[in-house]
Amino acid sequence: MPQTWEAWSIVNLMQMTNEQRRHYFGNSGEPFSVTIMGEPIYILTSPEDVVAVYKLPKPLDPNPVVQEILRDFGLTKQTVKKIYSDNFRNGKHYMDASHDDFKLQFHPGEKLTLLEQTLLGHIDKSLTWQNMSGRMLISGSKKERTVSLYKWCAEVIVDAGTRALVGDLLHNIAPDILPQFFIFEEESWKLAFQYPVFAAKNMYSAKQYCDKAFCEYLRLPKEKRAHESWIMGTINAGLETLKIEQLQRAPTMFSVYRLVNTNAYKLAFWLLTYIIYDSAILHSVRKEIEPAFNDVGSLNLEYLIDSSSCPLLAAAYEETLRCTNWPMGYRKVVSPCIINGRTLRTGRKLLMPYRIMHFDPDVFGADAAQFNPRRFLHDKKLVKSTSFRPFGGAANHCPGRFLARREVLMFTALLLNRFDISLAATEGGQEPTMPRLDDTLPTGGILGPVAGDDVVVKVKRLSKS
C-alpha cells in the first residue's frame, strides 16, 4: 500500500494508456524518475530491470516500505522496531522469520493441505441452494432467484477464509466481522492516502471494529483457540515472544487476515464475469469441468487445477489475473547500485508497476488491452514470462498464490456445476452491460468494479445443489 505522494504518482501513471506512457516516457524501457512534492522516485517498467532488482536485495530493500505500511495499519514505532530487531530466529528479524512461516503455511505441503481442506470444505457447504441468503440475495422464489454475483463471491469466500484462519470463534465474538471487513475493503485506499478521521469515518470505524474483534479473540485462552490455523497461532506466539502488547498484536493479526481475504473473492468475481458474459466460453468451460465431478457431485480438485485437464479454465484464470490485477513492487535504495546503466541514489524509493508490463503488446499481442480467454492457451510460455508478474517475484513472491488458485477455481467450478446461471435483464429490459474495472486507485492487488457496477444473475437450482 503506497504512501500519499506515491499513490498519486501511481494513479496518474496508470491512468495513461500504454501508448500514452510510451509517448511521454519514451519507448526505451529504461528506468526513469518522477518528482512528487519535491521527492524523486524511480519507476521501472521493463522485465529485465525488474529481474535486476530481484538480484540486488541488499542495496534495494523492501523493508523500509513495509515498515511505513505497518505504521499506517496502526503499529507504533516501538512495535515496528521490535519486529525488525535482529536475531529473532536463526539470525533473522521477526518479519523475515514470518515470511518463512508464510511459505510453510501457504506453499504446497502438509500445512497448506490442512488449511485448504478447511477452507474449501466451507466453500463446498456454502455454495448450496439452501445457503443462498443474506446480502447477496436480491429477490427469489422456490424455482429462481436473483443474486448479486459480487456479493455472492465475497460472502462465501471471505466467510470460508475467516473460518479456515481462526475457526468459528471470530463470528461469535464479532457477528458483523464480514460486513465491517467489506466496508474497510471498499475504503481502505483512504488509509494509503492518509485521510484524516473526519474524512474517512466509515473506514476508520470499520477498522476499529476489526481490530477490536481480534483483540477480543486474542484474550481467549489458547485452548479455546484450538481450531485456529497454524500461521495465525505462530504469528501470535512470535509477537508474544517479543512482548508485543495485545493492542498492538490485534492490528497485526487483522493485517494477516486481510492479506488472505482481500483478493480471492474479487478474482472469482471477474473470472465468473468474463465466463458468464461469453456464452460460448460458458458452454466450453462447463463441458470441460464435467469430468471433475463424480456421480454424486463431489469434486476432484486435483483434476480441476490441472491445466492439462481443464486448459481453458486455467487459461481464463491466468488472463483474469493479467487483466484485473494491479501488483506493485516497492524498494528503497539503501546503498548506491546500478540498474540498466543508471546509478540509483541512496534514500530514494523505487516502484515496479507490474501492471504496465501485463499490457505490453510486444509480449501479449496486439490485443493486449482486451480480455482473451484463450491467450494463455495459445501461448503456454506466457505464464512463465518475466513480463507476467501477478504475484510479484523473487523473495517477495506472494506465498498465497497456491491457495488463491485452488479456492477461486473450486468456487467457479462448483457454482457452474450446481446452478443454472444467466444474466438478469436491466430494469428497462435491456441487456446488461459489462461491469467496469475500477483502475483509478492503487490497490496492490485485484481491482474491484466501479462503485455501483455489479453482475446481477438469475439462478436456478440444479439437482446437484
pLDDT of residue 463: 62
User: Please, what's the b/e burial string for 192-223 (b: 16 or more CB within 10 A of its CB; e: otherwise)?
Assistant: bbebeeeebeebbebbebbbbbbbbbbeeeee
Q: Taken in order 224, 116, 99, 159, is the CA torsion positive or negative?
A: negative
At 313, which helix (H) or strand (E)?
helix 311-324
Distance CA 190, CA 243 (A): 31
- Average pLDDT of the residues of the chain: 91
- Are 185 and 155 a contacting pair, CB within 8 Å? no
* Tens-place pLDDT, residues 294-309: 998 899 999 999 999 9
Q: What is the pLDDT of residue 20?
A: 59
Give the burial class of 106: count Cβ atoms within 10 A of its Cβ; 0-12 exposed, 13-18 middle, 19 or more buried: buried
Tens-digit pLDDT profile for residues 390-424 = 999 887 789 999 999 999 999 999 999 999 999 99
**Confidence tier at 4 by pLDDT (50, 70, 90):** very low
Q: Which three cell numbers stand for residue 406?
A: 485452488
> And the C-alpha cell for 456?
446481477
Band of the pLDDT at 2, cuts 50, 70, 90?
Answer: very low
The arithmetic mean of pLDDT across residues 15-29, rounded, is: 56
Q: Which of 90-99, 185-194, 383-392 has the lowest mean pLDDT?
A: 185-194
Give Cα 359 distance to the centre of its chain: 19
Q: Is the backbone of residue 442 left (phi > 0), alpha (psi -120 to 50) or beta?
A: beta
Consecutive H or E run containing 286: helix 279-289
**pLDDT, tens only, 122-180:** 999 999 999 998 899 999 888 999 999 999 999 999 999 999 999 999 999 999 999 99
Report DSSP state, residue 306: -
C-alpha–C-alpha distance, residues 159 and 151, integer Å: 12
Position 15 scores a pLDDT of 53
Which set of grid coordinates corresponds to residue 76?
Answer: 507504533
Q: Which CA distances in Å does 246 have to 190, 216, 217, 421?
A: 25, 9, 10, 46
Rounded to 5 degrees, φ, ψ at 119 are -65, -50
Whether the pLDDT of residue 103 is over 50: the answer is: yes
Q: Which three cell numbers stand for residue 211?
A: 481490530
Distance of CA 411 to CAs 52, 132, 274, 373, 448, Å? Answer: 37, 14, 15, 18, 18
DSSP state of 225: G
Question: Looking at the predicted structure, is the pLDDT value of residue 11 above 80?
Answer: no
